[in-house]
Chains A and B, each alone.
Chain A
Amino acid sequence: MWNWQYLVSVALITVIVLSLGAVLWSMDSGSLTLEPGDEPEGAWWRGAIDAPVTIFVFPDFTCPVCVEKERLVLQALDMYPESLRMVYHHYPSPGFGQTVAEALEAAGEQGKFWELHDRLLVDPPDDMSKLKACAAEIGLDMQKFDEALDSGRFKEKVERDKEEAISRGIKHVSVFINGNEYEHNPGTLADLCAAIDEELERIAKR
């Protein structure tokens, strides 16, 4: 079977397959960039209003890597109080991730989006009872909170946020520093600070 005709045929087929693969490979748009001030509609933000560096986050609270990244970003916000602003945008996985995102919106309706966000980072819940316990702990009106979740009032907003992110080319949970995708996953606080310092230096040189 292993004659030259067989080998040439296999080589030809392999080249064709690899060529098709190369076409698919070339379709990768690589790292996405977002422009500061170009945050998606309805996004939640915190930090210095005129900060030179904006960190855009697109997390999913059921993803341990995302949760760790969020923790690092919050630590960085404390370290750079005048230089950093954080813009949050929903990017949940289906199922419980979606529920957590809607819970955050429900908390936001009561003026406690960031309180619940920070509480969820301490010990991310993996079921509804733990999620509700977190909500009760930060002093939410639980009747209103339960009604918001049961009615699905924020389902569309969360889905719309995610669809908008996807339409902008954000294909997975991400963190952007002034529009440039932060490549570490999750990396360390030192990695994040190095990236922030690099951006601050770049801005200072302009």
Chain B
Amino acid sequence: MILRLLVGGTFVFSSVTKLPEHSQFVDVVDSYHILPHSLATAYAVALPWVELVIGAYLVLGILIRPSSVVAVLMATSFVVANVSGIFRGDEYCGSCFGEDILLLAWQSLIIDVLIIVAGVYLVIEGGRKQMLSFDGLFAAEERTRTPVSGGE
């Protein structure tokens, strides 16, 4: 549960810093020169929304496994961007949590790797451990409703 909250909370926070400055975020993603301009724009527009929804799903414990898979994929793309930034000589990661929170490039890389590790763990264990989660709530309700056929 704690990992879910940490990973989900990080993504929610990240999206909350990006959404109010989404027009500048497009420029930031474009400046990495990893994707062609049209793809970079599409990625930059979609990313904050995906972060918000997946983050909220993880915090609330909705579709834990699929959400964790998406979280791992997002974090992997961040690692690629950060490594490319480091090789380019960028001292700070300007795309991590908006312009107001500047992380050193190596700091953001560590966070991304931790998210990947936590995300993989949630993918493996997330189906089983559903304490204080939305999915767990519905699974428990399902169990109480389903009649258990006993022996003679």
Contacts and interface: CB of A to CB of B under 8 A. Distances in A.
B125 interface: no
A30 interface: yes
20 contacts: A1-B135, A1-B142, A5-B138, A10-B62, A10-B63, A10-B134, A13-B56, A13-B62, A17-B52, A17-B56, A18-B52, A20-B52, A21-B53, A24-B15, A30-B23, A64-B89, A171-B24, A183-B27, A185-B30, A185-B31
B138 A64 contact: no
Interface of A: 1, 3, 5-6, 9-10, 13-14, 17-18, 20-21, 24-25, 27-28, 30-31, 62-65, 93-97, 126, 171-172, 183, 185-186
Interface size on B, as a range, is 20 to 34
A1 B139 contact: yes
A25 B91 contact: no
Given A1-B142, A172-B28, 15 more contacts: A3-B138, A9-B134, A10-B134, A14-B53, A18-B52, A21-B48, A21-B53, A25-B20, A28-B22, A62-B92, A64-B90, A93-B102, A95-B91, A171-B99, A186-B31
Given A10-B62, A17-B56, A25 B138 contact: no
Contacts of A10: 62-63, 134
Interface in B25-75: 27-28, 30-31, 48-49, 52-53, 56, 60, 62-63
B88 A21 contact: no
- Label chain B's interface by main secondary structure: helix
Contacts of A21: 15, 19, 48-49, 52-53
Given A18-B49, A21-B52, A25-B20, A62 B135 contact: no
